[in-house]
Amino acid sequence: MIVPLATGAEGRLTGAVGMRAVVCLNGGTHAQVPGTWSASVEYLVRGLAPLLASLAFVEVRYRVKSWRRLDDCVEDGRAALDLVRERGAREVALLGFSMGGAVSVRLAQEPGVTALVGLAPWLPPELDLTPLEGRRLAIVHGSLDAPLPGVPGVRPSVSADAHRRALALGVESERTVIGGALHAIAIRAGGRLVPMPRAERWLALTRMQLERFCA
């Protein structure tokens, strides 16, 4: 179900909102282009929702999906948080893919947020990680992730450095690298989702982290 958000962005809601919800935050590009639904996030939500029936998932489609408009993306994510809290969620996990990792960190101190799962997360050295204090951080990254001409990517060394910085702040943080995995978990081709190499491993590790969130 597509739900309009207060900022003008959109949320795609899967499942009934109960005590716990997951807000899913997409990646972005250098170019300031209209937001789209993330194929990688959609693949995960389709696989996870039937297995984690107690959770509601909200995928966010930003107004503009660009790290040059990061503040606007954060506002869109905050509007999705407001949506699930207004519908009764008391605990929220943030699932941030690529640039969505930085958006999630910026939102980590919002009321109700207890966990952040970063998938191939863009967490640059200048990003302040203090909002993670008191929250749990889990990072999953593909070993072959790298930016390519015209194709965004995040080198694993970026999340490795962020993991070390988070630990130095006293944040409960863990990091897993998936051998042979690229940046994308799935792509859209011919109107359908096409899983990328190791997609099932991404799904299994994300499920494990969200089961911990539910425990």
Q: Using one digit for the tens of pLDDT, what is the confidence trace for 30-86?
A: 889 898 999 999 999 999 999 999 999 999 999 999 988 999 999 999 999 999 999
Q: Which CATH number do you get for residue 136?
A: 3.40.50.1820
CA distance to 54, 97, 101, 200, per residue, from 174 (Å): 24, 16, 14, 20
Q: How far apart are CA 187 and CA 152, in angstroms?
A: 13
Q: Is the confidence at residue 150, as pLDDT, over 80?
A: no
Number of domains in the chain: 1
Strand partners, 20: 55, 91
Burial of 116-139, coded b for 16+ CB within 10 Å and e otherwise, reads bbbbbbbbeeebebebbeebbbbb
The reported pLDDT for the residue numbered 67 is 83
Q: Residue 175: which of 209, 210, 144 has the closest Cα?
A: 209
Q: Is the confidence at residue 29, as pLDDT, over 90?
A: no
Say if residues 45 and 14 touch (Cβ distance below 8 Å). Answer: yes
Instruction: Kindly indicate the confidence band of residue 105, based on its pLDDT and cuts at 50, 70 and 90.
Output: very high
Prediction pTM value: 0.96
Q: How far apart are CA 44 and CA 24, in angstroms?
A: 10
The reported pLDDT for the residue numbered 31 is 84
Instruction: Kindly indicate the confidence band of residue 25, based on its pLDDT and cuts at 50, 70 and 90.
Output: very high
Angle of the 70-86 helix axis to the 99-107 helix axis, nearest 10: 60
**Local structure of 93: helix, strand or coil:** strand
What domain range includes position 8? 2-214
Q: Is the confidence at residue 210, as pLDDT, over 90?
A: yes
Say if residues 89 and 21 touch (Cβ distance below 8 Å). Answer: yes
Residue type, 81: L
Contacts of 149 (CB under 8 A, 6+ apart): none
